[in-house]
Amino acid sequence: MRRKVIAGNWKMNNDLKETQNLLSRLTSGISVNNLNCDVIVCPAFTSLFEAYTLLKDTKIKLGAQNMYFETSGAFTGEISAAMLKSVGCEYVILGHSERRNIFGETDELINNKIKKANASGLKPIFCVGELLEEREAGITEKVIEKQIRSGLKDISSEEMGNMIIAYEPVWAIGTGKTASPEQAEEVHKFIRSLINDKCGASISENIIIQYGGSVNNKNARELLSQKDIDGALIGGASLKADSFIDIIQAT
């Protein structure tokens, strides 16, 4: 039985004060040391240390939304894996469709980031997902297969045991249009079969595959009840304590 993992990707929202307010509502609204699933929050870089301080006596874990793969040096504006570790991060989201589509991140760059995260003891939440026109052209599986194979190139089975994969159909992100539970399950099952080809049954049966894209407190329960959907990566609905708590409770 895989334990569900609910993660909040705050994206470019919440300054320091707003982070304090949201985390205080979150930690007072749930039993933070007795969760029935794993919970991760991923604030902006500028709020990470504050979030670490506020969450360190709880079971809620901390993640970042991005990092660069080099160790240090002349990379203006970038953040390293060691920096994220030093402010208490355990996870890092990599390959989010907003990074791919707005900032031009390639599969190769994402692969380098995944390798560095693994080597640094950070757990990647590796995002994949097709565009609307790709789904309509009937090439969803082809797109996902390429993203998975390239993103996970030269990643060992042992490292795979450390990772979370998030399936986020791009057309469902921030649009209010979620994949149906059946549509999502179909792709999750396909991703698990790709991991089985790459690393065998034990890793593929244990790897957490989250769904993301307009998950809210109304649709979470049905999505999370699908066999291969092991959690959710949540944008908008993670910015309100009440809706995020409802989703946690839906597990």
Using CB under 6 A, list all residues that contact ligand 13P. 9, 96, 168, 173-174, 212-215, 233-237
Task: State the distance between the two ends of the chain, measured CA to CA, in whole angstroms.
Answer: 13
Would you say 168 or 230 has its CB closer to ligand 13P?
A: 168
Q: Which residue has the tokens 């109304």?
A: 218
> What is the smallest separation between the CB atom of 178 and ligand 13P, expressed in angstroms?
8
Chain mean position to CA 84? 16
Task: Point out the catalytic residue in the list 98, 168, 185, 188.
Answer: 168
DSSP state of 218: T
> What is the smallest separation between the CB atom of 246 and ligand 13P, expressed in angstroms?
14
**148 Cβ neighbours under 8 A, 6+ residues apart:** 128, 165, 191, 194, 195
> What is the smallest separation between the CB atom of 63 and ligand 13P, expressed in angstroms?
11
Would you say 41 or 203 has its CB closer to ligand 13P?
A: 41
**Does residue 127 sit in helix, strand or coil?**
strand
* CA-closest candidate to residue 91, choices 191, 165, 16: 165
Task: Point out the catalytic residue in the list 96, 130, 185, 188.
Answer: 96
Would you say 147 or 203 has its CB closer to ligand 13P?
A: 147
Would you say 174 or 200 has its CB closer to ligand 13P?
A: 174
| CA geometry: angle 143, 199, 98, nearest 5 deg | 35
Cα–Cα distance measured from residue 4 to residue 179, given in angstroms and rounded to the nearest whole number: 19
Residue nearest to ligand 13P (CB): 235
> What is the smallest separation between the CB atom of 73 and ligand 13P, expressed in angstroms?
29
**Is 168 an annotated catalytic residue?**
yes
Residues annotated catalytic, as ranges:
96, 168
